[in-house]
Amino acid sequence: MRIREPGMAPLATAFAALALLPACASVTRPGAVAVAPPPVTAAPLPPAGASAGLTIPVTDAEGRYRTPNSGLGRAATIWHVRAALNVAALGCRGPAEATLIADYNRLLADKRKVLATAYARTEADTRAAGGKDWRDVHDRRMTQVYNFFAQPPAKTRFCTIATQVAGEAAAMPAADFSAFAATALPRLEAPFLDFYRAYDTYRRDLAAWQARARPATQLTYAPLDTVITWSPAPDRRLATAESTP
C-alpha cells in the first residue's frame, strides 16, 4: 500500500512547473533594497526647566487642578494672598525687588487687623475639623501653601504678578481687602496652573514620541534557495513501522 504524504501535491506541482521552464531561463531573485529609517526627532523636554517625572496635582471632574488654594473660604483666601506675597518678598529678586518688599511691609502694617482676624479664623476652622492634632494639621497646610508659591518653574512670571498685586494690596483700603483678595488669589495662582497645563502637554507629547520611537516589528523571509530545496522531515514513526517485519 502506498502512503501519500499530506500536503505533497502542491509541492510536486511546483517542481513540475519549474522543470518545464526553458533551459536558458533563470530565476530572478529580488535584490535587497536598503530603506532609510524615518528620522527620529529628539524627545520632548519638560517645560520651564522642570524635572522629568515631576508630580503635579490631579484635575477634578471639571478639569481644574486641585491645589492648596482650592475651595477656600473668605478668611483662608485672605491669608493665602498674604502667604503668596510673603514668598514673593523673600524670593523674588530683580529691579522691582525693593518696591515689592516695601509694598509688602506696608500691607502688613496697614492691614494688620484684617490679616490677624483671617489667620485666627483659619486656625479655628482647622481646630474644629482636626481634633486634638489640629495644630499639626494647620502647620502642614500652611507649609503646603508656602511650598506651592515657591515652585521654581513658575517663579519668573509669579514674581511679576506678585509685584503688581503687592502694590495694589498696599494701596487697598482695609475694608475692601477681602473682596480684593478674592480676585488677587487667582492671579497669583495662574502661573502655576499654566505650568501644570504645559507639563501635562509635555507628558502627552512624550508618550506620543515614545510610541513613534519604538522599532517596528521586522519580518525575515527565508532565502529562495531554502524554499526550493525544502522537503518535509521524515516521520520516524512511519519509518519504524515500515521496517518492522
* Segments forming the whole domain that contains residue 149: 72-211
Residue range 24-75, pLDDT digits in tens: 555 555 555 556 666 668 999 999 999 999 999 999 999 999 999 999 999 9
pLDDT tens digits for range 75-126: 999 999 999 999 999 999 999 999 999 999 999 999 999 999 999 999 999 9
Q: Which helix (H) or strand (E) holds 199?
A: helix 177-213
Neighbours of 129 (CB within 10 A): 10
pTM: 0.72
* Residue 188 near residue 165 (C-beta atoms within 8 A): yes
Structural domain count, the chain = 1
Q: Is residue 19 part of a domain?
A: no
- Distance in angstroms (rounded) separating the CA atoms of residues 45 and 202: 7
Residue 120 lies in a domain: yes
**Does residue 118 form part of some domain?**
yes
- Residue 105 maps to a domain: yes
- Domain assignment present for residue 126? The answer is yes
**Residue given cell 519604538 in the structure block:** 214
Residue 169, in any domain of the structure = yes
Residue 189 in any domain: the answer is: yes
Whether 18 is in a domain gets the answer no
Average pLDDT over residues 151-178: 97
